[in-house]
């Protein structure tokens, strides 16, 4: 593979700022890589749109990143993964890395209770999630969470209105604590602390680390890893309000 290709950036996208939870993990594991992160904030949320709409939006974002020279694409969004990963892989020959709701690792914690799986309506409806449920869905309660990612988009990770929202959302599950909670949307990772307040001591599991490991593996396999000693970096972009980039920077450095 030409040197120039190894130096090329990794393109990563989400409907908004949530994918930054994947980005910061990727920058830790691959410190020599250049990243371009694109939040499609103008069209967020994806999770309540039809599959066709999300497919179209995801394709146009991926095309943008490829035209910017991306050597690989990471779909840092579970909803876009379920709507578009297959089509993107059929269309482009570069590595396309996608999310997977962490039902498999959560199933290891399932005994005689239940696992609560939080995701967008689009993800839960999608074929990929339904297939995972068939394999690892024993004891899983899937809870679509429309309206939840919007708190993260507003920079609200610990406000009173967020806690009111979560209190209503989780009311049916308060009687019996789940054995584990799956965070099946990259935005929800920034709400870990808030969710934990409602379910103290319950393990919260996301798919970010697995996705980044897969990214590393794909880069190695395709001889696309940046040369040793390369200096990494990131360019943050948003299709909507430029303030979203400021929020991305804040979230990159947050402890959430």
Cβ pair 187, 16 in contact under 8 A: yes
Pick one of 9, 11, 39, 45: the residue that binds ligand DGL (CB under 6 A).
45
Q: Is 117 in the site for ligand DGL (CB under 6 A)?
A: no
Residue with tokens 């991305």: 248
Q: Is 186 in the site for ligand DGL (CB under 6 A)?
A: yes
Structure tokens at 154: 């507003």
Distances (CA, A) of 78 to 6, 106, 185, 255: 27, 16, 6, 22
Pick one of 9, 11, 18, 126: the residue that binds ligand DGL (CB under 6 A).
18
Q: Is 57 in the site for ligand DGL (CB under 6 A)?
A: no
Q: What is the DSSP string of 138-168?
A: TTEEEEE-TTSHHHHHTT-SS-HHHHHHHHH
Clarify whether 77 is annotated catalytic.
Answer: yes
Pick one of 13, 37, 38, 46: the residue that binds ligand DGL (CB under 6 A).
46
Structure tokens at 255: 């402890």
- Give whichever of 78 and 157 is closer to ligand DGL, judged by the CB atom: 78
Q: Is 185 in the site for ligand DGL (CB under 6 A)?
A: yes
Cβ pair 133, 105 in contact under 8 A: no
- Give whichever of 34 and 186 is closer to ligand DGL, judged by the CB atom: 186
**Interface positions with ligand DGL (CB under 6 A):** 14-16, 18, 44-47, 77-79, 120, 123, 149, 185-187
The catalytic site residues sit at 77, 185
């Amino acid at each position: 593979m030409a040197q120039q290709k190894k130096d090329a950036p990794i393109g990563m996208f989400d409907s908004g700022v949530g994918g930054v939870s994947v980005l910061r993990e990727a920058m830790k594991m691959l410190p020599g890589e250049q990243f371009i992160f694109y939040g499609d904030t103008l069209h967020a949320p994806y999770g309540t749109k039809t599959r066709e709409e999300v497919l179209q939006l995801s394709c146009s974002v991926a095309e943008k990143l490829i035209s910017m020279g991306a050597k690989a694409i990471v779909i840092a969004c579970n909803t876009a993964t379920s709507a578009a990963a297959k089509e993107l892989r059929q269309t482009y020959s570069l590595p396309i890395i996608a999310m997977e709701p962490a039902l498999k690792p959560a199933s290891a914690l399932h005994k005689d209770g239940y696992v609560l799986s939080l995701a967008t309506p689009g993800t839960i409806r999608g074929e990929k999630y339904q297939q995972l449920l068939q394999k690892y869905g024993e004891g899983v309660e899937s809870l679509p969470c429309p309206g939840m990612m919007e708190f993260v988009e507003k920079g609200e990770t610990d406000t009173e209105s967020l806690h009111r929202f979560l209190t209503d959302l989780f009311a049916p599950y308060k009687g019996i604590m789940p054995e584990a909670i799956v965070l099946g949307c990259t935005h929800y990772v920034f709400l870990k602390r808030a969710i934990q307040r409602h379910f103290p001591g319950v393990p919260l599991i996301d798919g970010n680390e697995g996705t980044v490991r897969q990214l590393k593996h794909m880069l190695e396999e395709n001889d696309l890893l940046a040369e040793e000693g390369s200096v990494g970096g990131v360019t943050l972009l948003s299709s909507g309000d430029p303030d979203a980039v400021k929020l991305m920077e804040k979230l990159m450095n947050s402890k959430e």
